[in-house]
Amino acid sequence: MSTKPQVLTVTRDPKLRDELQDLLSSFEDRSFVVVSAQDNRQAVEVARTRQPEIALVEMRESSLPIQTFAREMAAISPSTTVVGVIRDGAFSGNASESQIVIDVLRSGVKDFLHYPFSLGELNELVRRVEQNAQKTPAKLGAVVAFVSNKGGVGKSTLAINTAVGLAQQFPGRVLLVDASLQLGVAASMLDLRPATTLTEVAKEQSRLDTTLMQEMAIAHSSGLHLLAAPRDAVEAAKVDEEVMTRVLSLARRSYDYVVVDTFPVFDAISLAILDLTSKAFVVTENVIPTLLGTAKLIELLDKFSYPADQTEIILNRQQRVSGSLRPHDIAARLGRPIDWIFPYDRNVIGAANTGIPIATTMRGYFGFGRELKRFISDVTNTRGDLRANGVSHPVNGKENTAPRNGLNFANAAVEESR
């Protein structure tokens, strides 16, 4: 199980919901992303999008609802462990509790909790789920995201060339998601003209599955598949955090590697992306206003409990010119070491203008090409049986995190530097 497994609680009782939330937040050795639903219909929609590791479902007078729910979960989220929460005296009629439990187990429910229960009992349940997951791990791809506090730092260039480099090694098994929704450039930099974008994906959200998503992606000659950004800001407004969660949840079940280029605003969509990211690469450059914004971004990632060991800092377009900051100065300002240094290379600009990614032409002997080759090799190591890490604690299906309109780091950096 991951650093932050996702847990879905299904109950109409606010007291039970709050108790589950409190108990799950009391674990000392792990933390969870918790989402709540009031009924099974709402829970199915949440599970379809989030693919939780555990679903805690209150059982009331009849066992039929949880049996139906378990069968639906087997179809839409087979890796979810459905757990029945039983109250004393909850069942009426002539059927014994033992017979009801047998019927429910046959429907696909994997475990039970008797309410009221203790933290120790809940911890034991999580341990059992962990052990079962290790026996039959889900085959999930690695999701890596490129984030920054502002545009113009080369984030998209790095994301696109990383995706192309991976696709050359694993053709047909790498997906690039251009989630820089309002300013996406991936299609242009790959010289592609997609007929469908994330806007069309959003319109098909209710019936979206792995097959349909692969059909909506456009193929590049390198073997890469691309889900392109919307064509303009109006279309971008149709793509929300639920769409992005759905896309990434399906993508990591369809591809070995999913590379995500993001928009430099920290909002609900950014959180949804990070929620399913195996590793986040923070891209910056040696310019004071940019570094101030990068420091704020790192602070926010820490605030939302994104694991520091799954974040790496990329210093892009580094040049040794008079007045420029040295890497160790930048590391001191950010409060953490620089993991990757990509030197300035004018050929990168030329490649962007021609629509031929430099990853397809570089030799990798020195400079930018050598660092990119090393970087791509390192990214391949993120592949494994991975699960969501999580950065937030949703309640009642809504994220109690960043404001929907987001925080623009570029503006924040400029204000602080004045």
What is the pLDDT, as a whole number, of residue 206?
Answer: 80
**Are residue 158 and residue 246 in the same domain, yes or no?**
yes
CATH number at residue 311: 3.40.50.300
Instruction: Let me know how many helices (H) and strands (E) the chain has, helices first.
Output: 17, 15
Q: What is the mean pLDDT of the chain?
A: 85
Among 135, 153, 177, the domain boundary falls at: 135
**Are residue 163 and residue 279 in the same domain, yes or no?**
yes
Distance of CA 15 to the CA centre of its chain: 30
- Mean pLDDT throughout 183-203? 95
Look at residue 262 and tell me if it is in a domain: yes
**Are residue 125 and residue 176 in the same domain, yes or no?**
no
Q: How many domains, the chain?
A: 2
Q: How many CB atoms lie within 10 A of CB 329?
A: 12
**Are residue 119 and residue 190 in the same domain, yes or no?**
no
- Mean pLDDT throughout 91-104? 73
**Are residue 214 and residue 153 in the same domain, yes or no?**
yes
Using DSSP, state whether 239 is helix, strand or coil: coil
Helix (H) or strand (E) holding 211: helix 210-216
Can you give the C-alpha Rg of the chain in angstroms?
23
Print the domain residue range for 102: 6-135
Among 114, 135, 156, the domain boundary falls at: 135
Residue 398 corresponds to which tokens in the numbers above?
A: 């809504």
Most confident stretch, 2-16, 59-73, 216-230, 376-390: 216-230
pLDDT at 338 over 90: yes
112-131 per-position pLDDT tens digit: 998 888 888 888 988 888 88
Give the residue carrying structure tokens 């003209």.
193
**Are residue 57 and residue 166 in the same domain, yes or no?**
no
- DSSP one-letter string for 145-184: EEE-SSSSSSHHHHHHHHHHHHHHHSTTSEEEEEE-TTT-
Q: List, in order, residues 6 or more apart from 362 with CB less than 8 Å away.
A: 368, 369, 372, 373
DSSP class of residue 324? P
Q: List, in order, residues 6 or more apart from 130 with CB less than 8 Å away.
A: 1
- Mean pLDDT throughout 159-168? 97
Look at residue 103 and tell me if it is in a domain: yes
What is the pLDDT, as a whole number, of residue 92?
Answer: 60
End-to-end CA distance of the chain: 45
Residue 409 corresponds to which tokens in the numbers above?
A: 């780091």
pLDDT grade for 136, boundaries at 50, 70 and 90 = low
pLDDT at 334 over 90: yes
- Mean pLDDT throughout 65-83? 89
Look at residue 385 and tell me if it is in a domain: yes
What is the pLDDT, as a whole number, of residue 95?
Answer: 59
What is the pLDDT, as a whole number, of residue 281?
Answer: 98
Look at residue 418 and tell me if it is in a domain: no
Look at residue 417 and tell me if it is in a domain: no
DSSP class of residue 322? T
**Are residue 188 and residue 270 in the same domain, yes or no?**
yes
**Are residue 165 and residue 72 in the same domain, yes or no?**
no
Residue 356 corresponds to which tokens in the numbers above?
A: 């031929």
pLDDT grade for 94, boundaries at 50, 70 and 90 = low
226-261 per-position pLDDT tens digit: 999 999 999 999 999 989 988 998 898 889 999 999
pLDDT at 8 over 50: yes
Among 93, 116, 135, the domain boundary falls at: 135
Question: What's this model's pTM, rounded to 2 decimal places?
Answer: 0.71
**Are residue 353 and residue 227 in the same domain, yes or no?**
yes
pLDDT at 194 over 90: yes
**Are residue 278 and residue 193 in the same domain, yes or no?**
yes
Look at residue 89 and tell me if it is in a domain: yes
Look at residue 108 and tell me if it is in a domain: yes
CATH number at residue 23: 3.40.50.2300
**Are residue 177 and residue 260 in the same domain, yes or no?**
yes
Q: List, in order, residues 6 or more apart from 121 with CB less than 8 Å away.
A: 113
**Are residue 107 and residue 201 in the same domain, yes or no?**
no
Look at residue 64 and tell me if it is in a domain: yes
